[in-house]
Amino acid sequence: MTHQPAIPSLTAADPEIAGLIEQEAARQHDKIRLIASENYVSQAVLEATGTVLTNKYSEGYAGKRYYEGQQIVDPVETLAIERAKALFGAEHANVQSYSGSPANLAAYLAFAKPGDPVLGMALPDGGHLTHGWSVSATGKWFTPVRYGVRKETGRVDLDQVRDLAREHRPKLIFAGGTAIPRTIDFPAFAEIAREIDAVLVADIAHIAGLVAGGAHPSPVGHAQVITTTTHKTLRGPRGAMILTDADHAKAIDKAVFPGLQGGPHNHTTAAIAVALGEAAKPEFREYAHAIVANAKALAEALIERGFDLVSGGTDNHLLLVDLTTKNIGGKPAAKALDKAGIELNYNTVPFDPRKPFDPSGIRLGTGAITTRGLRPEHQPQIAEWIARTVSAAAAEDEAALGTIAAEVRELLAGYPIPGYLEA
Protein backbone atom coordinates (compact mmCIF):
# COMPACT_ATOMS: atom_id res chain seq x y z
CA MET A 1 0.00 0.00 0.00
CA THR A 2 1.21 3.52 -0.72
CA HIS A 3 0.21 7.15 -0.43
CA GLN A 4 -1.62 8.61 -3.43
CA PRO A 5 -0.70 10.91 -5.11
CA ALA A 6 2.72 9.26 -5.03
CA ILE A 7 5.51 11.20 -3.31
CA PRO A 8 8.75 10.02 -5.00
CA SER A 9 10.51 13.41 -4.92
CA LEU A 10 9.75 13.82 -1.24
CA THR A 11 10.90 10.28 -0.55
CA ALA A 12 14.22 11.03 -2.25
CA ALA A 13 14.70 14.44 -0.63
CA ASP A 14 13.46 13.69 2.88
CA PRO A 15 12.82 10.01 3.51
CA GLU A 16 12.14 10.65 7.19
CA ILE A 17 9.13 12.90 6.52
CA ALA A 18 8.01 10.76 3.59
CA GLY A 19 8.06 7.71 5.80
CA LEU A 20 5.91 9.41 8.40
CA ILE A 21 3.41 10.45 5.72
CA GLU A 22 3.22 6.86 4.47
CA GLN A 23 2.65 5.69 8.04
CA GLU A 24 -0.11 8.23 8.53
CA ALA A 25 -1.83 7.10 5.32
CA ALA A 26 -1.72 3.52 6.59
CA ARG A 27 -3.03 4.57 10.01
CA GLN A 28 -5.96 6.41 8.44
CA HIS A 29 -6.73 3.33 6.36
CA ASP A 30 -6.54 0.86 9.23
CA LYS A 31 -8.77 2.62 11.75
CA ILE A 32 -12.47 3.37 12.01
CA ARG A 33 -12.21 7.15 12.12
CA LEU A 34 -15.06 8.55 14.19
CA ILE A 35 -13.59 11.96 15.03
CA ALA A 36 -16.48 14.24 14.13
CA SER A 37 -14.25 16.97 12.69
CA GLU A 38 -12.32 14.68 10.34
CA ASN A 39 -12.96 13.18 6.93
CA TYR A 40 -11.20 11.86 3.83
CA VAL A 41 -10.81 14.33 0.97
CA SER A 42 -10.88 13.12 -2.61
CA GLN A 43 -7.69 12.57 -4.56
CA ALA A 44 -8.61 15.61 -6.66
CA VAL A 45 -8.66 17.78 -3.52
CA LEU A 46 -5.34 16.27 -2.41
CA GLU A 47 -3.78 17.07 -5.78
CA ALA A 48 -5.07 20.66 -5.78
CA THR A 49 -3.65 21.21 -2.28
CA GLY A 50 -0.16 20.24 -3.42
CA THR A 51 0.23 22.45 -6.50
CA VAL A 52 2.47 25.37 -7.51
CA LEU A 53 -0.28 27.73 -6.34
CA THR A 54 1.45 27.52 -2.96
CA ASN A 55 4.26 29.63 -4.50
CA LYS A 56 2.09 32.72 -5.11
CA TYR A 57 1.39 35.68 -2.83
CA SER A 58 -1.99 37.34 -3.41
CA GLU A 59 -2.77 39.93 -0.76
CA GLY A 60 -6.08 41.64 -1.49
CA TYR A 61 -9.04 40.39 -3.49
CA ALA A 62 -9.60 39.47 -7.13
CA GLY A 63 -9.00 42.55 -9.27
CA LYS A 64 -7.60 44.50 -6.28
CA ARG A 65 -4.29 42.88 -5.37
CA TYR A 66 -1.09 44.30 -3.90
CA TYR A 67 1.17 41.99 -5.91
CA GLU A 68 1.39 41.54 -9.67
CA GLY A 69 1.05 38.24 -11.49
CA GLN A 70 -2.52 37.43 -10.42
CA GLN A 71 -3.84 36.50 -13.87
CA ILE A 72 -4.37 32.87 -12.84
CA VAL A 73 -5.00 33.22 -9.11
CA ASP A 74 -7.88 35.67 -9.56
CA PRO A 75 -9.97 33.19 -11.61
CA VAL A 76 -9.16 30.42 -9.08
CA GLU A 77 -10.47 32.48 -6.18
CA THR A 78 -13.43 33.73 -8.19
CA LEU A 79 -14.39 30.14 -9.03
CA ALA A 80 -14.30 29.21 -5.34
CA ILE A 81 -16.44 32.24 -4.45
CA GLU A 82 -19.04 31.62 -7.14
CA ARG A 83 -19.27 27.93 -6.30
CA ALA A 84 -19.74 28.72 -2.60
CA LYS A 85 -22.48 31.24 -3.34
CA ALA A 86 -24.27 28.84 -5.65
CA LEU A 87 -23.99 25.82 -3.36
CA PHE A 88 -25.33 27.59 -0.27
CA GLY A 89 -27.52 30.22 -1.93
CA ALA A 90 -25.57 33.06 -0.30
CA GLU A 91 -25.22 36.61 -1.57
CA HIS A 92 -21.51 36.87 -0.74
CA ALA A 93 -18.64 34.52 0.07
CA ASN A 94 -15.14 35.10 1.41
CA VAL A 95 -12.88 32.07 0.91
CA GLN A 96 -9.64 33.49 2.32
CA SER A 97 -9.83 32.72 6.06
CA TYR A 98 -7.10 30.32 7.09
CA SER A 99 -9.32 28.24 9.39
CA GLY A 100 -12.51 28.30 11.42
CA SER A 101 -11.19 30.26 14.38
CA PRO A 102 -9.93 33.21 12.28
CA ALA A 103 -13.24 33.15 10.41
CA ASN A 104 -15.07 33.62 13.71
CA LEU A 105 -12.59 36.33 14.75
CA ALA A 106 -13.48 38.21 11.56
CA ALA A 107 -17.07 38.50 12.77
CA TYR A 108 -15.88 40.06 16.03
CA LEU A 109 -13.58 42.49 14.25
CA ALA A 110 -16.29 43.46 11.77
CA PHE A 111 -19.23 43.98 14.12
CA ALA A 112 -18.02 44.39 17.72
CA LYS A 113 -15.54 46.41 19.75
CA PRO A 114 -13.34 45.19 22.62
CA GLY A 115 -15.43 44.83 25.74
CA ASP A 116 -18.74 44.45 23.92
CA PRO A 117 -21.03 41.65 25.15
CA VAL A 118 -21.19 38.58 22.93
CA LEU A 119 -23.61 35.69 23.40
CA GLY A 120 -22.38 32.18 22.62
CA MET A 121 -22.90 28.59 23.68
CA ALA A 122 -20.88 27.50 26.70
CA LEU A 123 -17.99 25.21 25.78
CA PRO A 124 -19.00 22.38 28.17
CA ASP A 125 -22.48 22.37 26.64
CA GLY A 126 -21.21 22.04 23.06
CA GLY A 127 -19.99 25.50 22.06
CA HIS A 128 -16.63 26.48 20.57
CA LEU A 129 -13.65 28.21 22.15
CA THR A 130 -14.11 31.20 19.83
CA HIS A 131 -17.70 31.76 20.94
CA GLY A 132 -16.41 33.63 23.99
CA TRP A 133 -14.77 30.98 26.18
CA SER A 134 -12.44 32.29 28.88
CA VAL A 135 -9.16 30.82 27.57
CA SER A 136 -9.79 32.19 24.06
CA ALA A 137 -8.95 35.70 22.91
CA THR A 138 -12.68 36.11 22.33
CA GLY A 139 -13.36 35.57 26.03
CA LYS A 140 -10.53 37.88 27.07
CA TRP A 141 -11.18 40.78 24.68
CA PHE A 142 -14.98 40.76 24.75
CA THR A 143 -17.56 40.30 27.48
CA PRO A 144 -18.80 36.73 27.12
CA VAL A 145 -22.37 35.75 27.91
CA ARG A 146 -23.06 32.02 27.72
CA TYR A 147 -26.13 29.94 27.12
CA GLY A 148 -26.45 26.20 27.51
CA VAL A 149 -28.74 23.20 27.21
CA ARG A 150 -31.62 22.01 29.35
CA LYS A 151 -30.51 19.36 31.82
CA GLU A 152 -33.58 17.19 31.23
CA THR A 153 -33.30 17.18 27.40
CA GLY A 154 -29.70 18.02 26.49
CA ARG A 155 -31.03 20.48 23.90
CA VAL A 156 -30.37 24.21 23.55
CA ASP A 157 -32.41 26.25 26.02
CA LEU A 158 -33.84 28.91 23.71
CA ASP A 159 -35.74 30.53 26.57
CA GLN A 160 -32.40 31.09 28.27
CA VAL A 161 -30.94 32.46 25.02
CA ARG A 162 -33.77 34.97 24.75
CA ASP A 163 -33.56 36.02 28.40
CA LEU A 164 -29.79 36.51 28.24
CA ALA A 165 -30.07 38.44 24.98
CA ARG A 166 -32.63 40.82 26.43
CA GLU A 167 -30.59 41.32 29.59
CA HIS A 168 -27.12 41.81 28.08
CA ARG A 169 -27.91 43.17 24.58
CA PRO A 170 -24.96 41.40 22.88
CA LYS A 171 -23.54 42.74 19.63
CA LEU A 172 -23.12 39.20 18.29
CA ILE A 173 -25.04 35.98 18.90
CA PHE A 174 -23.38 32.70 17.91
CA ALA A 175 -25.51 29.72 16.92
CA GLY A 176 -23.73 26.41 16.45
CA GLY A 177 -20.81 24.66 18.10
CA THR A 178 -18.60 21.59 18.22
CA ALA A 179 -20.68 19.01 20.08
CA ILE A 180 -24.32 19.61 19.18
CA PRO A 181 -26.06 16.41 18.10
CA ARG A 182 -29.41 18.03 17.32
CA THR A 183 -30.82 20.30 14.61
CA ILE A 184 -29.97 23.96 15.18
CA ASP A 185 -33.06 26.18 15.13
CA PHE A 186 -31.73 29.06 13.04
CA PRO A 187 -35.12 30.81 12.66
CA ALA A 188 -35.51 30.95 16.47
CA PHE A 189 -32.03 32.39 16.91
CA ALA A 190 -32.72 34.91 14.15
CA GLU A 191 -35.90 36.08 15.87
CA ILE A 192 -33.99 36.68 19.11
CA ALA A 193 -31.20 38.52 17.29
CA ARG A 194 -33.67 40.78 15.48
CA GLU A 195 -35.38 41.70 18.73
CA ILE A 196 -32.17 43.22 20.14
CA ASP A 197 -30.58 44.26 16.81
CA ALA A 198 -27.67 41.84 17.15
CA VAL A 199 -25.74 40.23 14.31
CA LEU A 200 -26.46 36.51 14.18
CA VAL A 201 -23.40 34.41 13.34
CA ALA A 202 -24.17 30.82 12.39
CA ASP A 203 -21.09 28.65 12.91
CA ILE A 204 -21.80 25.64 10.70
CA ALA A 205 -18.26 24.23 10.67
CA HIS A 206 -19.50 20.78 11.65
CA ILE A 207 -22.65 20.63 9.55
CA ALA A 208 -21.69 22.54 6.38
CA GLY A 209 -21.71 19.38 4.29
CA LEU A 210 -25.09 18.40 5.67
CA VAL A 211 -26.45 21.88 4.87
CA ALA A 212 -24.99 21.73 1.35
CA GLY A 213 -26.51 18.28 0.84
CA GLY A 214 -29.93 19.18 2.22
CA ALA A 215 -29.58 16.99 5.32
CA HIS A 216 -29.76 19.92 7.77
CA PRO A 217 -31.73 23.19 7.50
CA SER A 218 -29.73 26.10 6.13
CA PRO A 219 -28.98 29.30 8.08
CA VAL A 220 -29.01 31.33 4.85
CA GLY A 221 -31.76 33.92 5.12
CA HIS A 222 -31.68 33.76 8.92
CA ALA A 223 -28.06 34.57 9.88
CA GLN A 224 -26.38 37.64 8.45
CA VAL A 225 -22.99 35.96 8.82
CA ILE A 226 -22.22 32.26 8.38
CA THR A 227 -18.79 30.87 9.21
CA THR A 228 -17.57 27.39 8.38
CA THR A 229 -14.52 25.29 7.96
CA THR A 230 -14.19 23.58 4.60
CA HIS A 231 -13.23 20.14 5.89
CA LYS A 232 -15.37 18.06 8.27
CA THR A 233 -18.65 17.07 6.55
CA LEU A 234 -17.96 19.36 3.56
CA ARG A 235 -15.03 17.08 2.71
CA GLY A 236 -12.63 19.76 1.53
CA PRO A 237 -9.14 20.90 2.59
CA ARG A 238 -8.27 22.45 5.93
CA GLY A 239 -9.58 25.97 5.37
CA ALA A 240 -12.59 28.18 5.99
CA MET A 241 -15.24 30.36 4.38
CA ILE A 242 -17.50 33.17 5.49
CA LEU A 243 -20.89 33.62 3.83
CA THR A 244 -22.87 36.81 4.32
CA ASP A 245 -25.79 38.79 3.02
CA ALA A 246 -24.96 41.81 0.85
CA ASP A 247 -25.24 44.29 3.72
CA HIS A 248 -22.53 42.61 5.79
CA ALA A 249 -20.14 41.64 2.99
CA LYS A 250 -17.87 44.70 2.95
CA ALA A 251 -17.25 44.67 6.69
CA ILE A 252 -16.36 40.97 6.64
CA ASP A 253 -13.97 41.34 3.71
CA LYS A 254 -12.17 44.20 5.47
CA ALA A 255 -11.97 42.17 8.67
CA VAL A 256 -10.36 39.21 6.90
CA PHE A 257 -7.96 41.37 4.90
CA PRO A 258 -6.29 43.57 5.99
CA GLY A 259 -7.81 43.15 9.46
CA LEU A 260 -6.59 39.68 10.39
CA GLN A 261 -4.27 38.30 7.74
CA GLY A 262 -2.14 38.90 4.69
CA GLY A 263 -2.07 36.76 1.58
CA PRO A 264 -4.50 33.86 1.23
CA HIS A 265 -3.24 30.31 0.73
CA ASN A 266 -3.97 29.93 -2.97
CA HIS A 267 -3.39 26.18 -3.07
CA THR A 268 -6.03 25.81 -0.36
CA THR A 269 -8.40 28.12 -2.24
CA ALA A 270 -8.08 25.90 -5.31
CA ALA A 271 -8.78 22.79 -3.25
CA ILE A 272 -11.82 24.51 -1.70
CA ALA A 273 -13.10 25.21 -5.20
CA VAL A 274 -12.66 21.54 -6.11
CA ALA A 275 -14.49 20.39 -2.99
CA LEU A 276 -17.34 22.82 -3.63
CA GLY A 277 -17.63 21.50 -7.17
CA GLU A 278 -17.86 17.97 -5.79
CA ALA A 279 -20.47 19.06 -3.23
CA ALA A 280 -22.67 20.45 -6.01
CA LYS A 281 -23.07 16.99 -7.57
CA PRO A 282 -26.11 14.78 -6.88
CA GLU A 283 -23.98 12.07 -5.30
CA PHE A 284 -22.87 14.47 -2.58
CA ARG A 285 -26.49 14.99 -1.60
CA GLU A 286 -26.78 11.22 -1.24
CA TYR A 287 -23.60 11.24 0.83
CA ALA A 288 -24.92 13.92 3.23
CA HIS A 289 -28.09 11.97 3.92
CA ALA A 290 -26.08 8.76 4.31
CA ILE A 291 -24.01 10.45 7.04
CA VAL A 292 -27.16 11.10 9.04
CA ALA A 293 -28.51 7.60 8.42
CA ASN A 294 -25.26 6.10 9.71
CA ALA A 295 -25.26 8.37 12.77
CA LYS A 296 -28.83 7.44 13.65
CA ALA A 297 -28.08 3.74 13.21
CA LEU A 298 -24.96 4.00 15.37
CA ALA A 299 -26.88 5.92 18.04
CA GLU A 300 -29.57 3.26 18.15
CA ALA A 301 -27.00 0.46 18.37
CA LEU A 302 -25.13 2.17 21.20
CA ILE A 303 -28.33 2.80 23.16
CA GLU A 304 -29.21 -0.88 22.78
CA ARG A 305 -25.86 -1.68 24.40
CA GLY A 306 -26.53 0.50 27.41
CA PHE A 307 -24.78 3.72 26.44
CA ASP A 308 -26.22 7.10 27.46
CA LEU A 309 -26.38 9.60 24.60
CA VAL A 310 -26.66 13.30 25.33
CA SER A 311 -30.13 14.42 24.13
CA GLY A 312 -31.01 10.75 23.60
CA GLY A 313 -29.73 10.49 20.05
CA THR A 314 -28.75 12.58 17.03
CA ASP A 315 -30.20 14.51 14.09
CA ASN A 316 -26.90 15.00 12.28
CA HIS A 317 -23.44 13.42 12.02
CA LEU A 318 -22.49 13.72 15.68
CA LEU A 319 -23.04 11.66 18.80
CA LEU A 320 -22.06 12.69 22.32
CA VAL A 321 -21.85 9.78 24.74
CA ASP A 322 -21.83 10.08 28.54
CA LEU A 323 -19.81 7.19 29.99
CA THR A 324 -20.67 7.84 33.63
CA THR A 325 -22.71 4.64 33.93
CA LYS A 326 -19.87 2.64 32.34
CA ASN A 327 -17.55 3.40 35.27
CA ILE A 328 -14.82 4.84 33.04
CA GLY A 329 -13.82 8.36 32.06
CA GLY A 330 -13.82 9.65 28.51
CA LYS A 331 -10.04 9.96 28.29
CA PRO A 332 -9.09 6.37 29.19
CA ALA A 333 -11.96 5.12 27.03
CA ALA A 334 -10.77 7.15 24.02
CA LYS A 335 -7.20 5.92 24.45
CA ALA A 336 -8.35 2.30 24.69
CA LEU A 337 -10.55 2.72 21.62
CA ASP A 338 -7.58 4.09 19.68
CA LYS A 339 -5.61 0.95 20.54
CA ALA A 340 -8.60 -1.08 19.38
CA GLY A 341 -8.60 0.64 15.99
CA ILE A 342 -11.45 3.07 16.69
CA GLU A 343 -10.44 6.72 16.62
CA LEU A 344 -12.54 9.37 18.39
CA ASN A 345 -12.04 12.02 21.06
CA TYR A 346 -12.84 12.41 24.72
CA ASN A 347 -15.24 15.27 25.36
CA THR A 348 -17.06 17.08 28.12
CA VAL A 349 -20.78 16.50 28.42
CA PRO A 350 -23.30 19.04 29.71
CA PHE A 351 -23.14 19.47 33.49
CA ASP A 352 -20.00 17.33 33.55
CA PRO A 353 -18.63 16.93 37.11
CA ARG A 354 -15.20 15.95 35.77
CA LYS A 355 -12.42 18.24 34.52
CA PRO A 356 -12.19 19.12 30.78
CA PHE A 357 -8.90 17.22 30.35
CA ASP A 358 -10.43 14.13 31.95
CA PRO A 359 -14.14 14.42 31.12
CA SER A 360 -17.05 12.01 31.27
CA GLY A 361 -17.79 11.71 27.59
CA ILE A 362 -16.65 10.76 24.12
CA ARG A 363 -17.63 12.41 20.83
CA LEU A 364 -18.25 10.44 17.64
CA GLY A 365 -19.02 11.44 14.05
CA THR A 366 -19.90 9.46 10.93
CA GLY A 367 -18.55 11.67 8.13
CA ALA A 368 -15.36 9.70 7.47
CA ILE A 369 -16.80 6.19 7.73
CA THR A 370 -19.57 7.22 5.33
CA THR A 371 -16.97 8.41 2.83
CA ARG A 372 -15.44 4.93 2.99
CA GLY A 373 -18.78 3.36 2.11
CA LEU A 374 -19.84 1.96 5.47
CA ARG A 375 -23.62 1.81 5.80
CA PRO A 376 -26.26 1.57 8.55
CA GLU A 377 -25.94 -2.21 8.60
CA HIS A 378 -22.32 -1.84 9.74
CA GLN A 379 -23.18 0.31 12.74
CA PRO A 380 -24.23 -2.50 15.14
CA GLN A 381 -20.81 -4.10 14.63
CA ILE A 382 -19.07 -0.78 15.32
CA ALA A 383 -21.20 -0.29 18.43
CA GLU A 384 -20.35 -3.81 19.56
CA TRP A 385 -16.62 -3.11 19.16
CA ILE A 386 -17.03 0.12 21.15
CA ALA A 387 -18.89 -1.74 23.90
CA ARG A 388 -16.29 -4.51 24.05
CA THR A 389 -13.47 -1.99 24.15
CA VAL A 390 -15.01 0.08 26.93
CA SER A 391 -15.58 -3.08 28.98
CA ALA A 392 -12.02 -4.24 28.30
CA ALA A 393 -10.61 -0.86 29.28
CA ALA A 394 -12.55 -0.84 32.52
CA ALA A 395 -11.19 -4.34 33.23
CA GLU A 396 -7.65 -3.36 32.09
CA ASP A 397 -7.71 -6.16 29.51
CA GLU A 398 -5.07 -5.00 27.00
CA ALA A 399 -5.12 -8.25 25.00
CA ALA A 400 -8.74 -7.73 24.03
CA LEU A 401 -7.88 -4.39 22.42
CA GLY A 402 -5.47 -6.02 19.97
CA THR A 403 -8.07 -8.62 19.04
CA ILE A 404 -10.63 -5.92 18.27
CA ALA A 405 -8.09 -3.92 16.24
CA ALA A 406 -7.46 -6.96 14.04
CA GLU A 407 -11.21 -7.40 13.47
CA VAL A 408 -11.48 -3.72 12.54
CA ARG A 409 -8.68 -4.00 9.98
CA GLU A 410 -10.34 -7.04 8.46
CA LEU A 411 -13.56 -5.13 7.87
CA LEU A 412 -11.86 -1.99 6.57
CA ALA A 413 -9.76 -3.91 4.04
CA GLY A 414 -12.85 -3.97 1.84
CA TYR A 415 -13.38 -0.21 2.04
CA PRO A 416 -10.40 1.68 0.58
CA ILE A 417 -9.78 5.36 1.20
CA PRO A 418 -8.77 8.21 -1.11
CA GLY A 419 -5.05 8.87 -0.70
CA TYR A 420 -3.98 5.27 -0.06
CA LEU A 421 -3.90 2.62 -2.75
CA GLU A 422 -2.63 -0.94 -2.94
CA ALA A 423 0.70 -1.07 -4.75
Binding site membership for (6S)-5,6,7,8-tetrahydrofolate: which residues?
123, 127-129
Q: Is 98 a catalytic residue?
A: no
Q: Is 163 a catalytic residue?
A: no
Catalytic residue among 38, 47, 59, 91: 59
Q: Is 247 a catalytic residue?
A: no
Say if CB 344 and CB 337 are below 8 A apart: yes
CA 272-278-279 angle, to 5 degrees, is 85
Q: Is 57 a catalytic residue?
A: yes
Catalytic residue among 38, 56, 57, 324: 57
Tell me the binding residues. 123, 127-129
Q: Is 229 a catalytic residue?
A: yes
Q: Is 232 a catalytic residue?
A: yes
Catalytic residue among 33, 146, 171, 232: 232
Catalytic residue among 150, 238, 285, 409: 238
Catalytic residue among 22, 77, 203, 322: 203
Number of Cβ atoms within 10 Å of the Cβ of 20:
11
**b/e string for 296-327 if b means 16 or more Cβ within 10 A?**
bbbbbbbeeeebbbbbebbbbbbbbbbbbebe
Catalytic residue among 49, 227, 228, 229: 229
The DSSP element (H or E) to which 104 belongs, if any, is helix 100-111
Residues 6+ apart with CB under 8 A from 46: 4, 5, 271, 418, 419
Say if CB 18 and CB 7 are below 8 A apart: yes
DSSP characters for 271-325? HHHHHHHHHTSHHHHHHHHHHHHHHHHHHHHHHHTTPEEGGGS-SSSEEEEE-GG
DSSP 26: H
Q: Which residues are catalytic?
A: 57, 59, 203, 229, 232, 238
